[in-house]
């Protein structure tokens, strides 16, 4: 037990500057809503934490596992719809819907992972994309999910911790920060766990991993299943934060890409990578998008993303974290 807690909470194996940086980051996030009063600034912060949360989950399969999954939005959708529909139909409290959404997303991931991991590389990536698109089309097609009209959550007048509905964004800020921290601590445990090392071995060289006695297929399936479950959490949050979901909002292809991209830009396979990527891309997206949208210049923000993406792919496949690590090694 003590060992487990130590694995979860301890960052001792990381260098000192990382631990200091992490502490500063926590302090900034904690005081943020008391310094920034503008609603827009707070919304940017919440969206940043949400995408950092998504990125942490995706990093498990995409970064540590080395399998490019372009369908994480389907898991976000499962989480969002589980929360939304259960609240709408049966008034189920939020904290019950989260594990249900996670289980549904994980079960679906497990189901498709089984045939899908017969594939590698490009084939796998395209297959994940196809699966996510099929789910999105089905959610539009079905009536019981609300179809293309989506699901609207009944608004509750008073702040409510059972259904996690609040009037003020400050509550949501700490709420998403709590979810983010649990996922970060989970990933901190994961990277030091046996499964974590197995994933990294599979990523680096499947043949060598297999010859060391690792069941490559099983490792990938488990990693993909966990990633599915983790994706659901953010989806549940989206439902109670935005109070409205539809397939185009919670499970589009763009969301899958953005999630994968924040991790790639920040640095796949490192614990801080998703946070750095989201810290760069989300404010860029929100401010640039708002500014350019006001000038009726649609699309420039995505073109800038695309250039960043191509540059990272061609020059820095390890992302920003790769650059930081290299600079540090040079100094040492």
Q: What part of residues 79-138 is at the interface with other proteins (CB under 8 A)? A: 115-116, 118-119, 121-123, 125-127, 129-131, 133-134, 137-138
What are the b/e assignments for 157-173, b being 16+ CB within 10 Å? eeeeeebbbbeebebbb
What are the b/e assignments for 318-330, b being 16+ CB within 10 Å? bbbbbebeeeeee
Q: What part of residues 228-267 is at the interface with other proteins (CB under 8 A)? A: 253, 257, 260-261, 264
Instruction: Pick the closer one to other proteins by CB: 70 or 87.
Output: 70
- CA atoms of 193 and 29, how far apart (whole Å): 28
Q: Pattern 43-62, binding to other proteins, x per CB under 8 A?
A: -------------------x
Among 3, 37, 194, 315, binds other proteins (CB under 8 A): 315
- Binding flag, residue 310, other proteins (CB under 8 A): yes
Q: How many C-beta atoms surround the C-beta of residue 12 within 10 A?
A: 7
Report residue 54 CA to chain centroid gap. Answer: 1
- Radius of gyration from C-alpha coordinates of the chain: 20
- Binding flag, residue 208, other proteins (CB under 8 A): no
Among 230, 240, 312, 324, binds other proteins (CB under 8 A): 312
- Binding flag, residue 280, other proteins (CB under 8 A): no
End-to-end CA distance of the chain: 36
- Binding flag, residue 297, other proteins (CB under 8 A): yes
Quick one: which of 46, 54, 48, 67 has its CA closest to 229?
Answer: 54
Chain residues that interact with other proteins, rule: CB under 8 A: 62, 66, 68, 115-116, 118-119, 121-123, 125-127, 129-131, 133-134, 137-138, 140-141, 253, 257, 260-261, 264, 268, 297-303, 305-310, 312-315, 317
């Amino acid at each position: 037990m003590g060992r487990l807690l130590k694995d979860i909470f301890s960052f001792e194996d990381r260098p000192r500057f990382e631990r200091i940086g992490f502490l500063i980051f926590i302090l900034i996030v904690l005081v943020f809503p008391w310094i920034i009063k503008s609603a827009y600034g707070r919304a940017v912060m919440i969206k940043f934490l949400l995408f950092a949360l998504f990125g942490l989950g995706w990093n498990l399969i995409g970064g540590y596992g080395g399998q490019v999954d372009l369908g994480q939005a389907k898991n976000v959708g499962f989480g969002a719809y589980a929360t939304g529909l259960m609240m709408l139909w049966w008034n189920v409290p939020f904290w019950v819907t989260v594990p249900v959404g996670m289980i549904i997303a994980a079960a679906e991931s497990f189901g498709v992972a089984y045939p899908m991991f017969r594939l590698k590389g490009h084939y796998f990536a395209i297959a994940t994309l196809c699966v996510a698109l099929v789910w999105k089309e089905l959610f539009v097609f079905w009536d019981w999910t609300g179809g293309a009209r989506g699901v609207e959550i009944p608004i509750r007048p008073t702040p409510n911790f059972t259904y996690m509905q609040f009037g003020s964004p400050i509550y949501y800020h700490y709420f998403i920060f709590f979810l983010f921290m649990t996922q970060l601590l989970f990933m901190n445990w994961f990277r030091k766990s046996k499964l974590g090392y197995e994933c990294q071995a599979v990523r680096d060289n499947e043949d060598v991993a297999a010859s060391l006695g690792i069941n490559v297929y099983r490792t990938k399936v488990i990693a993909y299943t966990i990633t599915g479950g983790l994706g659901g959490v953010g989806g549940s949050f989206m439902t109670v934060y935005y109070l409205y979901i539809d397939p185009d909002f919670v499970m589009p292809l763009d969301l899958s890409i953005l999630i994968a991209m924040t991790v790639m830009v920040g640095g796949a396979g490192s614990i801080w990578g998703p946070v750095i990527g989201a810290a760069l891309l989300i404010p860029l997206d929100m401010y640039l998008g708002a500014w350019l949208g006001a000038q009726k210049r649609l699309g420039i923000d995505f073109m800038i993303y695309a250039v960043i993406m191509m540059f990272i792919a061609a020059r820095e496949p390890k992302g920003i974290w790769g650059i930081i690590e290299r600079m540090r090694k040079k100094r040492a």
